[in-house]
A = this chain, B = another copy of it.
């Protein structure tokens, strides 16, 4: 049998528990008064212990894997059945909010708690993972937890160092892990039929649409470039407008086109100039050199490439017309991660059931699902967060949204895991 839609009063209690547990996790921080919890720290191990305790309360067997992820399994009808994997991360940025990552683990716990309380066992097992590192705060490399499960740690990762010069390998030893055994964290493709990650949106779209929940279509691919315009510096008083080679005026024209072209291009593409510096940089000197960055993202790799090429062509055209130089060099690129269509449909049905309609949207930020999707069908459920604020102590969710999230997530997982 498919579990009936969780009743509202149950969901409310579950949401209260999620909020309370988020507060408990937020208290585990390396600095008083703000939340910072990084990979392989004492705080990481304490958070794992706390979460393992909650897992055990819902009838799960628990273990910490070889790269420090905390894992739990709620068995299916048949011992050793294939599992649905639920999860997100337990690490944070510095001075973080308390829901980014943690909300996904805590809501997954409520899915299992509901099954456990109703004594339901499904065709498939449910596993929950609290990844030890997604943010990359400590070592400057990201997705260490999820890439433990996929067995895709590059060889050099063990040598990466934190700000104090402690390597990943040394930190593992200090945390009681054996760096020679990281391969043991890898899970065979046959272990899981799907990965579902619940996460705060970290953006304003759901709030703007007045919706608690949305389903992710894809995690955006991204490309970052260092760009520059080079003209001629000159006296702000003595060089007539018509004789100038003003690098900042060229950059300004390009930036207006970046914005206009990207807006016209489609609702899901974004392009951002986040930094700009101009030299010589004096009130009375025409800027001769401008350096700026471009960050461009899209849920579709071909769209990103087409838009990027158009923006670069516009930069070139502006420079050519003005007789200045333009350069652009990509220094970071990650392809888009499309979410599994069947999983999206299941999530969307559950979301529609609890809030009347469903909005699908891309994820502009990166998630553990990027790594996991390389091996298992993956999808994501987004929860509205206040003003889209994330990576900041002001990060906030509404408890009633969390109740809807627990309802929808439980509904979808139960359906996927079968009766």
Contact = CB atoms under 8 A, between A and B. Distances in A.
Interface of A: 201-205, 208, 220, 222, 224, 234-243, 246, 248-249, 251-253, 255-256, 259, 262-263, 267-278, 281-287, 293, 295, 297, 363-366, 388, 390-391
Contact of A277 (B208, B255, B277): B277
A203 B235 contact: yes
A255 to B, nearest CB: 4
A268 B255 CA distance: 27
6 contacts: A203-B238, A204-B234, A208-B243, A235-B391, A238-B388, A240-B270
A235 B385 CA distance: 13
A241 B256 contact: no
B256 A242 contact: no
A97 to B, nearest CB: 12
Contacts of A252: 251-253, 255-256, 259, 273
B235 A202 contact: yes
Given A203-B238, A256-B249, A284 B295 contact: yes
Given A201-B238, A235-B390, A276 B276 contact: yes
Contacts of A248: 255, 273-274, 276
Contact of A275 (B273, B278, B295): B278
A293 B205 CA distance: 34
Contacts of A295: 236-237, 283-284
Contact of A274 (B203, B284, B297): B284
B262 A255 contact: no
A274 B270 contact: no
A268 B243 CA distance: 12
The 9 closest A-B pairs by CB, nearest first: A237-B364, A203-B238, A252-B255, A238-B364, A236-B272, A283-B293, A252-B252, A236-B295, A241-B263
A270 B272 CA distance: 30
Given A234-B388, A275-B281, A240 B267 contact: yes
B286 A365 contact: no
